[in-house]
Amino acid sequence: MSINLNNENFRLALATIYGVDKKYIVLKQGNWYNPTSVSAKPKTWIAYNILRNSPIGLPFYRDNEVTEVIEDEEVTNTYNFAIVLKIAEIDIQFIGTQAEALANNVPLWIIREDVQSELQKFDGKIMGQGQEAYSSSYALDGDNYVTAWNTKIYITWQQSTRTQQILFTEVTAKGEL
């Protein structure tokens, strides 16, 4: 089964897509870690935020074989998963000398094999809508403003949850079985 698309997993995907250390890719929020405050002072860094994950259909069930290591032995079991299709709306902001070029490159993600490979981890595909690049001002430390470049992307993906539960073999009611 795929992994779920969340802020931390998307951060790792961005780090792989851009081939940079994940410390230069940060969650977009005020008063948080700013990569320009570290001694390395990168020339360009990325901020992002998953704005929403909207279900686009009713959940469904699917059996899937999962290979697990149990007591040092590899075992394949079949589990029931609940799956719902979703669309993630994600803001990405590029700050620094390469910001404009990186933002303008995002529409090419739909045909880039490395991006498709990363999104496959979420059973995800990038959608054709959005992806326009637009500029905004960004306040660095000390109230120095720079131009940031922004884009919004949409990704369809499958959220999956294993539904296998241990059945209760005994139920106690009023102290009796």
In 75-112, alpha helices (H): 99-105
2 pLDDT more than 90: no
The predicted structure's pLDDT at residue 91: 95
Write out the H or E segment, with its range, that includes residue 6: none
7 pLDDT more than 80: yes
Q: What is the pLDDT averaged over residues 133-152? A: 82
Confidence band, pLDDT 50/70/90 cuts, at residue 111: very high
Q: Residue 55 in contact with residue 84, Cβ under 8 Å?
A: yes
The predicted structure's pLDDT at residue 147: 87
Higher pLDDT, 36 or 3: 3
31 pLDDT more than 70: no
Which DSSP symbol is given to 100? H
Q: What is the pLDDT averaged over residues 114-141? A: 87
Map out the domains of the chain as residue ranges. Answer: 7-53+84-155
Higher pLDDT, 67 or 96: 96
Q: What is the pLDDT averaged over residues 135-144? A: 74
41 pLDDT more than 80: no
Residue with tokens 């992307």: 153
Confidence band, pLDDT 50/70/90 cuts, at residue 107: very high
**Sign of the dihedral defined by the CA atoms of residues 62, 121, 94, 34, in that order:** positive
For domain 7-53+84-155, which CATH number applies: 3.40.50, 2.160.20, 1.10.3470, 3.30.70? 3.30.70
The predicted structure's pLDDT at residue 146: 81
The predicted structure's pLDDT at residue 10: 95
* Beta strand residue intervals within 56-144, DSSP E: 60-70, 73-96, 125-126, 134-139
Length of the chain: 177
The predicted structure's pLDDT at residue 12: 94
